[in-house]
Structure formats: C-alpha cells, structure tokens
Structure 1
C-alpha cells in the first residue's frame, strides 16, 4: 500500500496549508507516484463530482441565506427572537441562541451564522454590559444548532458522501436541533444568574408587539417547514427545494421592498465565494477518495475497528472520540467529506442506522469547531470580536459541557433522531 499521500496530507495540515490544497496535493501525489494509471485520471476525478445533481443544493441554500440577509429577513427574525425572550435574565443571550435556531432553516451553515451574529449581535451585547468573551463563546456554541436544523449543509454533504436519504436526514435533525436549543437556553439562564446579567427589557413585551414581530419573521419561518413538507409530500427533491427556497426568499424580499437590483452583484459574489470553498474541498476529496478506494483503506479501517469491538455503543463512543480529535485540526466540512466514506460502512455493519449516525457525525464535527487548538468557529468569532482565544476557551466551558452532553445523549438514544423520519417515511 502507498502511504505517501497520507503522509503528505497530514504534513500539509500540520504546517498550515489550506485543507483543500493539502487534500488535492496528497491526491495528486498518488497519481504521480503510482504507475497503475495515467495522471490525467486525477483531473477526471476532480471534475466528475461536479456533475452530481444533489450537490447543486449547496449553492442554492447558500444563496438563500445571502438573499435573506439582503432582504432584511435576518433582522426581522432577530426582532422576533428578542420580542419573545428579551425580558428574561440575560435576554440578549437568549436571543442569541434562539436566533441561531431560527437561522438554521435559512443559512444552513454554522460559520455563516457565527460570522453574522458576531458582527451584529455581539457588539450590541457588549454595549449592554455583557462580557465580550461570554458573548463570543455563546455565539460560536449556539451556531452549532444551524447545522442540525434543516436544511443544514453538513447534512447534505453527509447524505451525498454516504449515499443516505437527504430527506430523512432533514427530518432527523429537527428534534435534536430543538433539544440542543432548549439545553443551551437553560445553560444561558444558569449563567445569567451567576453573572447577574440584566434582561433586555424590564417587562415582557406586550402581545400585540410580539404578534407584529412574528408577522415580520413569519414568511422566513415557513422556509424550513416548506422544505421538509415539500420533500415529504414528493413535490420536489432536496436539490429542487434549494431552488424553491431561493425563489421564495427573492419574492419575500421584493414584497417587503428591501431587495434591490443593486443587491444582485454582491449576492452572487458572496454565494460564489462560499460555494467555491466547499466545492473545491469536495473535488479534491473525490480524487483523494479514489486513492483510498484503490488502496482499500476504508475496508482496512473498517476491519481494524471491528476487531476492536462489534458492540455498536462502544464503536460509536470510539468513533466520537476520533471525530472530535479530527475536528480539532480539520475544518468540519472537509473532515465530513473525507471521513464519511470510511466510517459510514463501519457503523452499518454493526446495525447502526446511517441516518442516526449522520446526525451524530455532523454534530460531533461541528462541536469540534469551537474547541482548541484549531476550531474554525472559535477562530471565526474571535477574529471578528477581538476576544483572545484563552478567554474564549474559559468562557466556553459551560457550553462545552452542554454540547458534549447532548452529543452523548443523541449518540446512545437513536430514537431521538429516528422517530420522526421513521414516522413519516414508513
């Protein structure tokens, strides 16, 4: 077996080469070193994956989030979240968590959610007396909800790489997403009492005002509901759902008179930039996956793991530990693309449902994004807010406890993820 590509990959990541380039270089090295096939196959493998219809959902859902930002829908959702929870202790912190949950059905990306809230909500929290480290840690931690609530891009990537129904994955993420939101809000309530944080409002907002805030956000709240129902009732595929979501966001922006012709160029630029990063990793990973398949690496990894234990719970515990370690050093989407073809066949051999494992894997790798030393969510939020990494880590400890606790709960109680898709697809 040729291990040079693996060494090049690990070395590239270690010295700080962008993950997509490290994967591409390691894959290319296999085709250059190996005499079994011409190097032109490398380009073929890179390009072939772009012909996949399910992957078209990624730029469409990315564009949905961008359009909604320009259409003012994001700010309306923040107003609704504040109207509902602003009178609680630590009201703006509760708004932070609730907004991440609402945006999960819009952006589908933890990094996009964390960056947006770091720019918009954290400065306001700091202005009202919140510790910037607490606000930044909360923003990074709560953004994890975005990848679980449909239509999370991580779920699309896992479904594509693992050949798992994306519709079932979308349904499977609803209950876990709501549960993580509730757990985070409880953690914020406890921390708010300990830190003596004041509410945003001295009294609950009157119900007519809450109803007005709900009307402003109502159309955006229909997006995840419409996506799930449309897929379930057979009106469109997950990929077509992305196109419908873009169209719906544009219509809402026009109706609310906030979307303008001048927004077309920045919307397209931001969509292309975000999509290019993801798809470059996918293309490189597809070429690298060809190397792994040729050398039978997934089969050997599966065999090695199964020799350690065939108990599904112990195997899931072992995989969770390995995923956390991998996610600390590799960006979540890249790790998901690389590891799904290796690990999904392993867990299915011991009877673990691939939909359940998808929720666990996506959540696991996203949680790793807020952990040192190289968590992408940690660096994204800290770079925007200017909070030192050491203070971020200290402020994140209560949220680490909640997130890892929820990860273990979802790992060992698969019914939480599976009861809704089983109910709807039986």
Structure 2
C-alpha cells in the first residue's frame, strides 16, 4: 500500500472518528490534517505546515467581505427590517389560502438576500411570524418547516457569504460577480418549489387567508420596504457593473444598514456594542473554519486526491449523468453532518475538476454544491437551520421532520433540474457578459 493511500485512509478515519466522538468540525479538520501529515514527518514538519496553511488560507482580500456582510446582517436584524419586509409580503400575497406561509417564504427570501444569512432570516422571520401563524390555526411544526426550508434561499440569492467562499475555493475559475448574478434563478426556483408544496398543503388542510388589502396599503408597505430592498440593487448592481469589489460592497452595505437603521429610528447607539460582539464571535467561528478547511484542502492537493478521484470516476463510470448523480448524493450526505463553510472549501477542490472534465461550468457547479448543502443544513444530525427554526417555533425537532420532508423533496427536485439544465445557472451571467 502506497504512502498516499495510507494518508487518505488516515485522514478519512481520523476525521470521521473525531466527528463521531463529538469534536467540533473545525477542530476535527485541523487535528485530522495534522495527524495525516505526521505520516510524512520524515520530510515535512506537520504542525508548522498546518499552521502556515491555516494562516495563508485566510490571507485573502476577498474574505474581508465576510465580516462586513455579517456585521451588516446583524445591524439589519436589529434595525427592524424584518418587520417591514413581512408587512410588504403580507400585503402582496397574504390573501391566498395559507397566506401567512407564503408571507414567511417571501419574507425569508428577501431578508435572507439582504442579510446574506440563513440563520438570521430563520431567527428574524420565524420569531415574528410563528406566533401569529399558531394563533391563526397553523400547526407549529408546519410553520417551523416552512421557515427552515425558505431561509436557505438567502444562501443562493446574493449577496451570499457562501458564494464568496466558493469563489475562493474554485481558485478563481468562478468570479464572485458571476456567482452572485447566477444565484437569482436557482434561489427563486427553490422559493417557488416550496410555495407549490405549501399550496397543496393549504388546500388539503383548509388553512386560512389574510384579508385582501387595498392598493393604497400595498403601496404604503412597499414604500416602507423600498429602502431595505435598495441595498440589493446597490450591492449586486455595483459588483456586476464593476464599480466596486465584493469586499467594498460589503463595507458599503454596513454603512447603508447603519444609515437605514437611524432613518427608520429603530437603531440606537447603545445597540452597537451587542451588535459588534455578536458579529465578532460569528466572524471568529467562520474564519477558524475557513483556516482549518484551507489546510485540509492543501493536503488534498498535496496528496493529489482530486486528480486521482477524477481519473477513477471518469474511468469507472462511463455515463456523465451518473457521475453527476453520484456527486450530488455524496454532497447531500456530507451536508447532513458538516457545516457549509468547511464543506464548500473541502469538496470544491475535489469535485470541481471532475465536473469540469464533464463539461460543467464552475458557476453552475457553484449553484449545485450550495443548494446541496442548503438541503444539508435543514437535516439532522448537524442541521443548523433545523435546530434554529425548531427553537424559534418552540417545537421539538422530531415533530418538524415529517412536514419538512415534502419541502426537502421539492428542493431536491430543483437541485436535479439545476444539475442537468445548465442555462438555469448560466443564462444571467452570460446576459451580463460575466462568463463566456
């Protein structure tokens, strides 16, 4: 058995063993990487190498966008933006049967897109709507399932931190601007697929609807939400037009969010201390995950794992459709026990060469891998959104699983459509001249 094969086995066994023992993902990644490099100790100091790769892995200007977007999301969450978006969505679509469920979906899509955080969307929208939905006769577990699944759309619709991370992991083959503009159609498709499931459920259960509002009320709620929605135009439009980079756009988002909070009179100077503390903690966690994941990604490259896997898959499985299906299944399984950030950083270098050899564009693969992992964060045992959404709705996780399954099936259907129809991911970037 070659040293490369032994290294791969040691890496896989140690990593899975540490996860099974309950070690946090970031530590499991760093420890398993170090243990694997100890096999090569004769010509490589393991601890020094891991430390260097962790440091150089986050020494990237594009990553500065992440703490800024995190800070902007915290400010927006505190500044009452969620309530304005909910009021607008309620006026827009609340008169349909099961109207509050549609309101939840649209509000989560809008707020998730503005804040760039699925957890922020699930917390802000869920805490506001769940009680009202329960009072109107909606089952709490159903409300939680809708909130959990719809909150993932903000990870596809820009600005999205995970798309920035994919751009980094792709080694420059996919730009942030192209990924941002590509995310609109997949994100909207996911939202529409969840709405379709809600429609059937609402008809079956006879869910109530809100009163139809006047055009004057609709215009009033739109006017209250327009300043929040303008942020999307500024950030994404500025990046696509080449006016500023993603990092500069994130800094502008922070300034805009602060000004908007004061204009709406829902943000005070005393709010900044808890906002900055929460942002700093979240940033530290994300950056530590990124640094250890980058060390493991370097190890994959060092051991030539991507090249070996590409050759094996293309030689063993002759049908490209089956190769893509295998990759999707693998990513779906990975998403059930690994956070999105390390999963993107670890598996992008492994699978990107495979899909590119099959003719898939890196931007399309970005949509596919992110949607795979969006499904993962909704599923046990490590589904962050599952636990956040259940906690907000005050309902046990076990009761949420049943109503969540049809919504996950709808998301999986969209995933397969995106996998096999490239233009759904590539049409907008091509229309804007961001890709060939």
Matched residue, 1:184: 194
Establish whether residue 174 from structure 1 lines up as the match of residue 184 from structure 2.
Answer: yes
| TM value normalised by structure 1 | 0.96
1:101 Cα deviation (Å)?
1.1
1: distance between equivalents of 2:148 and 2:295?
32
1: distance between equivalents of 2:187 and 2:392?
26
Matched residue, 1:16: 22
1: distance between equivalents of 2:59 and 2:299?
20
Number of residue pairs the alignment of both structures matches? 424
Matched residue, 1:350: 358
2: distance between equivalents of 1:286 and 1:380?
27
2: distance between equivalents of 1:291 and 1:178?
37
Unaligned runs of 5+ in 2: none
Establish whether residue 27 from structure 1 lines up as the match of residue 13 from structure 2.
Answer: no
2: distance between equivalents of 1:184 and 1:410?
16
Matches within 5 A, 1:12-411: 12-35=18-41, 36-38=43-45, 39-163=47-171, 164-199=174-209, 201=210, 203-309=211-317, 311-411=319-419
1:398 Cα deviation (Å)?
2.0
Q: Deviations over 1:40-60 (max 9, x none)?
A: 222111111222011111111
CA, structure 1 residues 253+198, in 2 after alignment: closer, same or farther (shift >3 Å)? Answer: same
Contact 1:312 1:351 in 2 (8 A): no
1: distance between equivalents of 2:298 and 2:233?
37
Contact 2:97 2:207 in 1 (8 A): yes
| TM value normalised by structure 2 | 0.93
Contact 1:122 1:385 in 2 (8 A): yes
1:323 Cα deviation (Å)?
0.6
2: distance between equivalents of 1:423 and 1:90?
36
1:310 Cα deviation (Å)?
5.0
1:358 Cα deviation (Å)?
0.4
Superposed CA RMSD in Å reads 1.6
1: distance between equivalents of 2:265 and 2:127?
24
Contact 1:312 1:352 in 2 (8 A): no
1:13 Cα deviation (Å)?
1.1
2: distance between equivalents of 1:304 and 1:126?
52
1: distance between equivalents of 2:398 and 2:81?
34
Contact 1:311 1:350 in 2 (8 A): no
Contact 2:53 2:294 in 1 (8 A): yes
1:311 Cα deviation (Å)?
4.1
User: SS of 2:426's equivalent?
Assistant: helix
2: distance between equivalents of 1:257 and 1:15?
48
Contact 2:337 2:383 in 1 (8 A): yes
1:131 Cα deviation (Å)?
0.4
Contact 2:82 2:124 in 1 (8 A): no
Unaligned runs of 5+ in 1: none
Contact 2:390 2:397 in 1 (8 A): yes
Deviating more after overlay: 393-402 vs 339-348:
393-402
Q: Deviations over 1:183-218 (max 9, x none)?
A: 22222122111111111x2x3111111111111110
Contact 1:161 1:340 in 2 (8 A): yes
